[in-house]
Amino acid sequence: MKKFAIAVVIALIASPALADEQVIKLKQGPGLDKVEANCAACHTLAYIPMNSPFLNAAGWDATVNKMINALKAPIDETDAKEIKEYLAKNYSG
């Protein structure tokens, strides 16, 4: 019962924060599933369209590499390749 009460309190505290979160719909295409699974694990997907005017294919490549190498995002090599291709094709400025 105590665990249930704690879960309810946490849900009530988190609810206002979740209510303000914007739903981001990215462009459909190969690699979208990898982007949603990997990128959204650490940050909002809103960063993708927000940064798209400033990044070309090389910029997205560098950004994904930074996430993996500097920030230690656990993205495997195959997923990283698909993510970079998706971002370059759909969100290059």
Average pLDDT, the chain: 87
Yes or no: say if 91 and 49 are a contact pair by the CB < 8 Å rule.
yes
How many CB atoms lie under 10 A from the CB of residue 64? 22
The class (CATH top level) of 23-90 is mainly alpha
Whole-prediction pTM: 0.76
Is pLDDT at 75 greater than 80 in this prediction? yes
The angle, 0 to 180 degrees and rounded to 10, between the axes of the packed helices 57-69 and 77-90 is 150
What token pair was written down for 12? 């009530």
Indicate if the pLDDT at residue 7 is higher than 60. Answer: no
CA distance 4 to 64: 39
Longest dimension (CA), the chain: 53
Residue ranges per structural domain of the chain = 23-90
